[in-house]
Structure 1
Amino acid sequence: MKKLLITVLFFSIVLGGVYGAGKKDEPAKTAGTAAMSAAARTHTVVDFKGNSVEVPNKIERIVVLGPLPAPTVLTVFQQGKTDNIVGVSPDSVNGAKYSIFSKYAPDFQNISSAFYTGGKLNLEELIKLKPDVVFYMDASVAAPLRQAGIAAVALAHPSTGWDASPLVTLKSWMDTMAQTLQMESPAQQIIAYGEQVEKEIKARIEKHPLPSPNKILFISKYSDTTIASAGKKSFGQYWANLLGGINLGGKATQGAINMEQIYEWQPDQVFILTFSDKTPDNLYNNTAAPGHDWSGINAVKNRQVFKFPFGMHRWWPPTTDTPLAMWWFAKTARPDLFSDIDMNQKIKEYYKQFYNMTLTDADVEWILHPRAEAKRQYF
């Protein structure tokens, strides 16, 4: 009996030790599982500058601060989906409201821009939106956002040292969006389409160069007090280079110019961006601004003043319409080489292929001759 009791006690101690050892290991096992789970909840995005950013795998709330066309590009990338975009700039909302984009994604106009006051970003109000990720251009916002625990991902722009090509920039944005959202999109096929368009345009230009390069002035801003041209770090460099021309704004030491400078330059062609509400008629009729006499400018005398179209976004910067913008710019600047390009047909076919939209002639007219209300409100 005594022997039996000793035996029972022995096994009790052994089993108790084994059980106790198991209990000691449990916190370590739980901590390890939690660490693995935490790691699985994020992934790394490498931005255009090579910076690594940890972003959540589950992204339900996105804010797009810039560049300005990026919110519409993201919408097209998501095939029209906007319910996970919770914040954009007021200029993005305004541009969408007065363009054909309003037919593609009507709910876009309901996205909040209330975290801007008078066009200025209020970071505290942005943080209240509790975004999972923020796309940005202005590097000054990155640190405050990350300090608030928000994943901030940079998008490329020539002003930050990136390529001036709208198509190359569009590809960079889409690649970054694909990394961030962990998905591919049919919209990425636009890049290959655009590369073919660019190749054909360059081939024609190389065969038939002008005796001397066209001097082109791109007007980015025009008010009663200010005329601004697109400078070196702008998409104007690309557009001029595409046709073997000269971006006159690239010669300026700063964006702001005056009529005296324009008379000195004597541009062959003037392209007004849709940031402004001015039209070619304003220059032809000398109604652009008090005291501004355009009558002695070669581009005006030869009726060579044009305004960029506005489709899914402005056709000047990167947009999912960039291949169409290439055709339009080439045909407009060199009609002798591109008379075979029917923009009405090109636009209708493109919008059907990439947006599944059937456009009317009135829709095409809306794109090619944008409304003044679509101008940029804040600079």
Structure 2
Amino acid sequence: MISRLVLPALVLLLSFAPAQAAPARVLHDMAGDAVTVPERIERVATVGAVPVINSLVFAIGERTRIVNGLPEFARRSRWGYQSVFAPHTAELPSMQNADRTPRLEALLQAAPDVVLTMDRASADSLRRAGLPALFLAWRQPEDVKKVVQLLGELFGRPQAAQRYVARFDEILARVDERLRSAAPPRPRVLYFSPGTLTQPHLVAEWWIRAAGGASVTDDGRQIESRSFTMEQLLAWDPQVLIVSSREDADRVMRDRRFAGLDAVRTGRVLVAPCGAHTWGNRTSEQPLTVLWAARQFHPALFADVDVNAETQRFYRDLFGVDLSAAQVDEILAGGPRAAAKAR
């Protein structure tokens, strides 16, 4: 009799008992802030510089965990390979506003286990809203390895992170050894936006130097971008010009102001490759940037380097995606030409 009374009462009591919290752990982001995250990460949202952050998630093989689509600015054809590397994201909504701030309502509804951002103010606002957010800082070239190692810890994939770091170091060491041995003259190089006459990213100073070039804007600055005048550009007279899109390359070739530059006269106006992101900017593909640029700056010295094969191997081994030869050609030519599918 007693057992028949106690059992229903016990069931009723347990129904009101709080659910056992999922195991959690504390990580320190790149600002040193302690962030509590679940033991196992199943769902991750990326906010702000989404193509860049996605490339980092791809690099440790966790592309299927992303729960957001690309923001409006990244829905152009240039970023078409985002949906090749993570096809499911093509139908997902963006989680940010036009000014790249987080769309809190959408994020709360998506309920990610963690949000990744490269903007500290966004990380702070997300935490105040109850969402675990990791701030990823990336100013210097070596920082990309630290970011990937942090993500390896986040996803429980330290070996994948180490595999990326090893590939990064191996490619850079190989290029550096050959440059040191041959000591070729360094061509004058400019990576720039012709519409605004700016060198948009500090990281370009590093990869141009690492690839055996002499960046004409490498003045020791600490700020991200550097503006210059047309007069200064003519005085520099770069031997190689690199832009981030075919449209910019066409603009350079059509604009009479650039006609007298050595790079234009000799046909050395190059479009940076674009896979997960534009290789000339910050991206997990940065080691490939150095290899590609070294081949462009010193074609004879690196004549035996098969950049296509290296690119195909990089995406297969690190991103976990087998690309066709035609797809690799497209990436190395600056990314897709066709308009991106509407999302």
TM-score range, shorter chain: 0.7 to 0.9
Whether contact under 8 Å (2:59, 2:164) holds in the other structure is no
Q: Give the one of 211, 214, 221 matched to 2:187.
A: 214
| SS in structure 2 of the partner of residue 260 of structure 1 | helix
Q: Which residue is equivalent to 1:42?
A: 24
Measured in 2, the distance between the counterparts of 1:350 and 1:151 equals: 31
Deviations 1:260-289 (A, max 9, x none): 221122222111124x7322x442343xxx
Measured in 1, the distance between the counterparts of 2:116 and 2:48 equals: 7
Measured in 2, the distance between the counterparts of 1:374 and 1:188 equals: 36
Q: Give the one of 301, 307, 311 matched to 2:275.
A: 311
Q: Which residue is equivalent to 2:336?
A: 371
Larger Rg, first or second structure (1 or 2): 1
Q: Give the one of 229, 233, 236 matched to 2:199.
A: 229
Whether contact under 8 Å (2:213, 2:297) holds in the other structure is no
Corresponding position: 1:327 with 2:327: no
Corresponding position: 1:277 with 2:247: yes
Distance 1:330-1:122 versus aligned 2 partners, 3 A rule: same
**Correspondences of 1:41-120 after superposition (within 5 Å):** 41-67=23-49, 68-82=51-65, 84-86=66-68, 88-94=70-76, 98-99=80-81, 101-113=82-94, 115-117=96-98, 119-120=99-100
Measured in 1, the distance between the counterparts of 2:306 and 2:40 equals: 44
Q: Tell me the amino acid that sits aligned with residue 291 of structure 2.
A: W
Q: Which deviates more from structure 2 when the two are superposed, residues 244-253 or residues 61-70?
A: 244-253
Q: Tell me the amino acid that sits aligned with residue 197 of structure 2.
A: I
Q: Which has the higher contact order (CA 8 A, sep 6+)?
A: 2
| SS in structure 2 of the partner of residue 86 of structure 1 | coil
Measured in 1, the distance between the counterparts of 2:320 and 2:107 equals: 35
Q: Give the one of 167, 192, 196 matched to 2:170.
A: 196
Q: Which residue is equivalent to 2:15?
A: none
Q: CA deviation at 1:198?
A: 0.8
Q: Which residue is equivalent to 2:235?
A: 264
Q: Which residue is equivalent to 2:8?
A: none
Whether contact under 8 Å (2:48, 2:96) holds in the other structure is no
Q: CA deviation at 1:367?
A: 1.0
Distance 1:357-1:114 versus aligned 2 partners, 3 A rule: closer
Q: CA deviation at 1:65?
A: 1.5
| SS in structure 2 of the partner of residue 121 of structure 1 | coil
Q: Give the one of 105, 117, 140 matched to 2:121.
A: 140
Whether contact under 8 Å (1:71, 1:92) holds in the other structure is no
**TM-score, normalised on structure 2?**
0.79
Deviations 1:225-281 (A, max 9, x none): x232135xx11121122135433234488633332221122222111124x7322x4
Measured in 1, the distance between the counterparts of 2:156 and 2:77 equals: 28
Distance 1:98-1:341 versus aligned 2 partners, 3 A rule: same
User: How many residue pairs align between the two structures?
Assistant: 319
Q: Which residue is equivalent to 1:337?
A: 301
Q: Percent identity?
A: 23
Unpaired runs of 5+ residues, structure 1, are 1-33, 287-291
Q: CA deviation at 1:373?
A: 6.4
Q: Tell me the amino acid that sits aligned with residue 262 of structure 1.
A: L
Q: CA deviation at 1:353?
A: 3.7
Q: CA deviation at 1:176?
A: 1.6
Q: CA deviation at 1:338?
A: 0.4
**TM-score, normalised on structure 1?**
0.73
Measured in 2, the distance between the counterparts of 1:44 and 1:277 equals: 45
Distance 1:194-1:202 versus aligned 2 partners, 3 A rule: same
Q: Which residue is equivalent to 1:346?
A: 310
| SS in structure 2 of the partner of residue 85 of structure 1 | coil
RMSD between superposed Cα atoms in Å: 3.2
Whether contact under 8 Å (1:348, 1:359) holds in the other structure is yes
Q: Tell me the amino acid that sits aligned with residue 189 of structure 2.
A: I
Distance 1:217-1:311 versus aligned 2 partners, 3 A rule: same
Measured in 2, the distance between the counterparts of 1:341 and 1:197 equals: 11
Measured in 1, the distance between the counterparts of 2:74 and 2:158 equals: 24
**Correspondences of 1:22-33 after superposition (within 5 Å):** none
Q: Give the one of 224, 230, 238 matched to 2:206.
A: 238
Q: Which deviates more from structure 2 when the two are superposed, residues 247-256 or residues 311-320?
A: 247-256
Measured in 2, the distance between the counterparts of 1:75 and 1:126 equals: 23
Whether contact under 8 Å (1:136, 1:153) holds in the other structure is yes
Measured in 2, the distance between the counterparts of 1:135 and 1:95 equals: 24
Q: CA deviation at 1:107?
A: 1.4
Distance 1:277-1:338 versus aligned 2 partners, 3 A rule: same
Whether contact under 8 Å (1:187, 1:354) holds in the other structure is no
| SS in structure 2 of the partner of residue 134 of structure 1 | strand
Whether contact under 8 Å (1:93, 1:109) holds in the other structure is no
Deviations 1:326-367 (A, max 9, x none): 221110111121011122333334444445544433222211
Q: Tell me the amino acid that sits aligned with residue 134 of structure 1.
A: V
Deviations 1:16-39 (A, max 9, x none): xxxxxxxxxxxxxxxxxx9xx66x
Distance 1:214-1:49 versus aligned 2 partners, 3 A rule: farther
Distance 1:93-1:63 versus aligned 2 partners, 3 A rule: farther
